Chain A
Amino acid sequence: MLNLIQTEFLKLRRKNFIFLMLISSLLMPLLAVFYFGAAKKADITPMQFYKWSAYSYTSWIILPVVLGILGTMLLYDENQNDMLKQLWIIPISKLGYFLSKFVIVFLYSVLFMMITAVCSILAGILPGTIPLTADSVSYLFLKCFEIGALAPFAMLPVLAVAASQKGYILPICVTLVYTFLGFILLMVNMYVHPLSGMTAIVINDMPDIVMKQPIDLKSAFLCIGIWSIASIICADVTLRKRQ
């Protein structure tokens, strides 16, 4: 397994676009600068600022779309170049192959959120919008790590679709629809869709967030767990069938 992950890392060196995608982590911190700059409010707390720059749309929309594209890209390139046959000849475990891709997505997701955290701090402090406090910074990093670690699990269904397809069109469309569904379901039911479940876990202990009903962490974890296990099984079965 470690060999597979190492190989995946070596392959990444040839894909400059993957590093270019990290630029999208700057979007929300930049928008937060403009938003709070235009609002000209006094006494903006670090929590208010970070909610905008890191905890909201980044985890609801930007990160899932980026991870969906990344996952599709990792799986599609090998299909396109007909390299899978050679990999199966070595032989490589189908599940190991899928999980090695997942590990890359996981590490990328954590890196993406860490960059978002750093940019959020800079975007808040440099224009003087918020003060630099140890509590808010440590909380920001902790939450960003939480989002970065949970999002890849929530995106496993998309990765499974990408593994089952030779093309990239369907997985990409599924990524868009899946992310949109997760965003809309936040307001309807948080325990059906893994991305909504992830948000429930993230906002659980966040101050100043009022929910109609108390958040049920067990249901949220169960939702992510069921979808993740089902996705891994589906990916394994489809990869075996394609042999």
Chain B
Amino acid sequence: MKTLLWAERMKLRRSKIIWIALFSAVMVSVIVYMQGQFLFQGHRYVDEPGWFMTAAQSLGSIFVLPAIIALMGSYMICREEQGDTMKSLRLIPVKLSRLVGAKLVLAAFMSVLLYAFLFIITFSTEAALHFSLLKSAAVLNFLKIYLLQGICLFFAISPIIAIVAVLKKGYWISLIFAEVYSFAGLFVGMQNTARFIYPVTAAFCVSGYYESTLPQMITSILSLFICACLSLLILDRLNRKYNS
């Protein structure tokens, strides 16, 4: 597994996808900052301490970042089929489920990295705008929210990425499905009970964006756990298919 992870990391270094994903995070910050210029009761949104960090995380997590994470995961899986390198890998031999597993682990890491990068941008902007008004406890809380959101959102998206491994050229499906899946979270978030069950909004609950009681938190963790189990189940099925 360690070797597979190393190999995947080396492959990613040659790819532009990381830079494009980081560019998306930068663009999310820029767009949300533009929205912050909107006047409400004589004040700009962005002048309120913490608004920018909250808005970038929530808007990005609904509209852009889930699809980017799904794109990264599905790209890593599909490139072996596209580049016709799967045959060579199977000759080594590499176990397919392990290979896809390594890709998923790396995608999870990339998801957290993307959120960490977004945090750095938003925190730097907040610090530049009103450093004296920022409290260290609040900043640390935001850091926790961002990092947990990164990993939880990955778990929510992971079944879609795992399905790509089965469908081979299904990265288009993964994209459209990830976008619709995360977009629907916007409306599910309005429902008090459903928001703790629906995986995308459950990620918001676990990260601490939504205030929740212990049972609600457990429900959300369970929802994400089911997503992770579903991905493993799909991978296991894939492995059996190849072995047979």
Task: Select from chain A the residue with minimum beta-carbon distance to B27.
Answer: A177
Chain A interface SS verdict (over half) = helix
Q: Is A210 an interface residue (CB 8 A)?
A: no
Interface presence of B32 (CB below 8 A): yes
Q: Contacts A27-B184, A69-B176 hold; do A176 and B64 have CB atoms under 8 A apart?
A: yes
Per-position contact with B for A161-185: 1 when CB-CB < 8 Å, else 0? 0000001111011001101110111
Chain A residues contacting B34 (CB-CB under 8 Å) are 184-185, 188
Chain B neighbourhood of A73, CB < 8 A: 172
Give residues of chain B (67-113) contacting chain A, Cβ–Cβ below 8 Å.
67-68, 71, 75, 82
User: Given known contacts A169-B75, A181-B27, A181-B31, is B37 in contact with A66 (CB within 8 Å)?
Assistant: no
When chains A and B are docked, how far (Å) is the Cα of A181 from the Cα of B71?
Answer: 19
Give B178-202 as 1s and 0s: 1 = Cβ < 8 Å from A's Cβ atoms: 0110011001000100000000000
Judged by a CB distance under 8 angstroms, whether A21 is at the interface is yes
The answer to whether B20 touches A170 (Cβ under 8 A) is yes
Chain B CB within 8 A of A61 CB: yes
How many residues does chain A have at the interface if contact means C-beta atoms less than 8 Å apart?
33
Within the complex, the shortest CB–CB distance from B206 to chain A, in Å, comes to: 24
A154 to B183, CA, bound (A): 21
Whether B176 and A188, one on each chain, are in contact in the complex, defined by CB atoms closer than 8 angstroms, is: no
- Let me know if A65 is at the binding interface, CB within 8 A: yes
Residues of B in contact, count (CB < 8 Å): 33
Contacting pair B176 A173 (CB below 8 A):
no
B131 at the binding interface (Cβ < 8 Å): no
Known: A20-B173, A69-B176. A177 touches B35 (CB 8 A): no
Is B183 a contact of A61 with CB atoms below 8 Å?
yes
Q: Which chain A residues in 140-197 approach chain B with CB under 8 Å?
A: 167-170, 172-173, 176-177, 179-181, 183-185, 187-188
Measured in the bound complex, the distance between the Cα atoms of B179 and A61 in whole Å is 10
Residue pair B20, A169 in contact (C-beta under 8 Å): yes
Given A27-B184, A169-B17, answer yes or no on A69-B172 (Cβ-Cβ < 8 Å): yes
**Which of B64, B173, B184 is the one whose CB lies under 8 Å from A177?**
B64
**A17-B173, A31-B187 in contact; A187/B67 too (CB < 8 A)?**
no
Q: Closest residue of chain A to B169, judged by CB?
A: A17
Q: Are A65 and B176 in contact (CB under 8 A)?
A: yes
User: For A17, A27, A176, which residue has the most chain B Cβ atoms within 10 angstroms?
Assistant: A176
Contact flag A173-B63 (CB < 8 Å), given A17-B172, A62-B183: no
Given contacts A80-B82, A187-B38, A188-B34, are A176 and B176 in contact (CB under 8 A)?
Answer: no
Instruction: Output the nearest chain B residue to A18 by Cβ-Cβ distance.
Output: B172
Q: How far is the CB of A18 from chain B (nearest CB, A)?
A: 9
In the complex, besides A27-B184, A65-B176, A173-B21, 15 extra interface pairs with C-beta distance below 8 angstroms are A24-B180, A31-B187, A34-B187, A73-B172, A169-B75, A172-B67, A173-B68, A176-B63, A177-B27, A180-B31, A181-B27, A184-B59, A187-B35, A187-B38, A188-B38
Closest 5 CB pairs of A and B: A177-B27, A184-B35, A180-B63, A176-B64, A173-B20
